[in-house]
């Protein structure tokens, strides 16, 4: 990528306002990692950019960031969270999912509770799942985790629209709070396809094999969304007996179900998986699916490589060599100590 740091920022601002020109890559690259003064200048003029142009900017930045993880558009996403347009706010939330943005979780909590657009509230709820996960890993303070979980629980049990409540449940999938199990069970038993799909999504995040039977049964469901979420959950939970069903889903009529099955089967592995993925690649004209299959084969090889590596798989000769090496090191240490004493 060409160095854009020498492009004057005023030139970038002029390009953003010039509707006669497309958004050129160099302009978008220059917006990465904005410093304080440049960020503040853009924030002051942001709302003056026509709304359709603001939407295009954040959408393009999100696409670029997905391709190049070294680019950082967190400062612009933070500006976008306060945009008057809900579409800009929604994309800005997505841009922050993989960014370590200071205190953004509190902004998202406020949006979940108070934003006027239900899609924005749903997006904020979904994004908070990242912080629940971090909390389970003890990477954020326990009091922050509790604050987030409490709000998500209130949302699931509250009177917001189903979309927002379902996204809150999905975010809670990572949580070890005892209340979450009952909420997942209730959603799964609801007979509402959307709620069942969200329950399966949460099951996949839970790392709890209690859900294996429920996930396995849903792999045959007539609803493509449910098959999709069941396939994803089967991979996340590494349900070995789901391997055959996932192999069958490689021929599913729904492209998203196939994609979920491809990735999940690479997580689970097993006999014939590599051959099945390679066969699917032959004469496949869908470039996106081919790229996914290549990634899945790499993931499969990595996972199977880990499975075949045993830290205790040494033969007797290796153990003897290791023992001799350690004894030799100890003798050297003793000699060093003797020399120190003589000095």
Quote the CA–CA distance of 205 and 180 in Å, as a whole number: 12
Task: Calculate the average pLDDT of the chain.
Answer: 89
In the predicted structure, residue 65 carries a pLDDT above the cut 80: yes
Rounded distance between C-alpha atoms, residue 333 and residue 268, angstroms? 47
Angle at 20 between CA 15 and CA 23, to 5 degrees: 45
Q: How confident is the model at residue 284 (pLDDT cuts 50, 70, 90)?
A: confident
Q: Please check the confidence at residue 251 and state whether its pLDDT lies above 50.
A: yes
Quote the CA–CA distance of 249 and 257 in Å, as a whole number: 7
Give me the mean pLDDT over the 122-148 stretch. 97
pTM for the predicted model, two decimal places: 0.84
d(CA 140, CA 147): 11
| 292 found inside a domain | yes
Residue 302 inside a domain? The answer is yes
Q: By residue range, what is the domain housing residue 268?
A: 208-307
Buried b (16+ CB within 10 A) or exposed e, 239-251: beebbebbbebbe
Kindly state whether residue 262 falls inside one of the protein's structural domains: yes
- Counting residues of the chain whose pLDDT is more than 70, the rounded percentage is 88
Could you tell me if residue 195 is inside a domain?
no
Whether 156 has a pLDDT exceeding 60, the answer reads yes
65-86 b/e (C-beta count within 10 Å ≥ 16 → b): beeeeebbbbbbbbbbbebebb
DSSP secondary structure code for residue 137 in this structure:
T
Q: Are 68 and 83 in contact (CB under 8 A)?
A: no
- Work out how many domains the chain is built from and give that number: 1
Could you tell me which of 160, 213, 156, 216 has the C-alpha nearest to residue 187?
A: 156
What is the spatial distance between Cα 206 and Cα 236, in angstroms, rounded to a whole number?
9
Q: Is the pLDDT of residue 341 over 60?
A: no
- How many Cβ atoms sit within 10 Å of the Cβ of residue 295? 13
Evaluate whether residue 39 is within a structural domain. no
The pLDDT of residue 125 is above 90: yes
Within its chain, how far is the Cα of 1 from the centroid?
A: 25
Is residue 84 a part of any domain in this protein?
no
Q: Which of 122, 110, 62, 113 is nearest to 86 (CA)?
A: 122
Residues in the chain: 343
Report the alpha-carbon distance of residue 244 to residue 239 in Å, rounded. 11
Instruction: Write down the pLDDT at residue 187.
Output: 98
Give domain status of residue 291, yes or no. Answer: yes
All residues at 6 or more sequence positions from 17 whose CB lies less than 8 Å from its CB, including other chains: 48, 49, 53
Q: What is the CATH number of the domain that holds 250?
A: 1.25.10.10
DSSP H helices in 219-286: 224-236, 243-249, 255-268, 273-281
Please check whether residue 133 lies inside any domain of the structure.
no
Instruction: Report d(CA 314, CA 170) in Å as an integer.
Output: 44
């Amino acid at each position: 990528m060409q160095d854009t740091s020498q492009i004057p920022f005023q030139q970038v601002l002029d390009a953003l306002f010039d509707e006669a020109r497309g958004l050129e890559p160099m302009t978008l690259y220059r917006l990465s990692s904005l410093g304080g003064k440049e960020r503040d200048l853009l924030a002051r003029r942001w709302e003056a950019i026509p709304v359709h142009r603001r939407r295009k900017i954040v959408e393009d930045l999100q696409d670029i960031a997905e391709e190049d993880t070294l680019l950082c558009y967190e400062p612009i996403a933070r500006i976008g969270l306060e945009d008057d347009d809900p579409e800009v706010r929604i994309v800005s939330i997505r841009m922050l999912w993989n960014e370590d943005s200071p205190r953004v979780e509190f902004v998202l909590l406020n949006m979940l509770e108070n934003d006027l657009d239900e899609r924005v509230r749903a997006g904020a709820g979904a994004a908070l799942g990242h912080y629940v996960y971090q909390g389970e890993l003890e990477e954020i303070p326990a009091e922050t985790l509790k604050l987030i979980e409490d709000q998500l629980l209130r949302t699931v049990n509250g009177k917001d629209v189903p979309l927002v409540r379902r996204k809150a449940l999905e975010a809670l999938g990572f949580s070890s709070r005892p209340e979450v199990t009952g909420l997942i069970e209730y959603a799964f038993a609801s007979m509402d396809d959307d709620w069942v799909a969200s329950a399966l999504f949460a099951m996949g995040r839970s790392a709890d094999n209690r859900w294996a039977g429920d996930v396995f049964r849903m792999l045959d469901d007539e609803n493509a969304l449910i098959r999709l979420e069941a396939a994803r959950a089967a991979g996340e939970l590494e349900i070995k007996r789901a391997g055959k069903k996932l192999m069958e889903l490689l021929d599913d009529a729904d492209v998203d179900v196939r994609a979920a099955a491809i990735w999940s089967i690479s997580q689970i592995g097993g006999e014939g998986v590599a051959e099945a993925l390679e066969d699917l690649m032959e004469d496949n004209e869908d470039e996106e699916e081919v790229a996914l299959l290549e990634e899945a084969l790499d993931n499969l090889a990595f996972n199977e490589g880990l499975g075949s590596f045993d830290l205790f798989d040494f033969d007797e000769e290796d153990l003897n060599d290791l023992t001799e090496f350690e004894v030799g090191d100890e003798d050297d240490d003793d000699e060093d100590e003797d020399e120190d004493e003589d000095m």
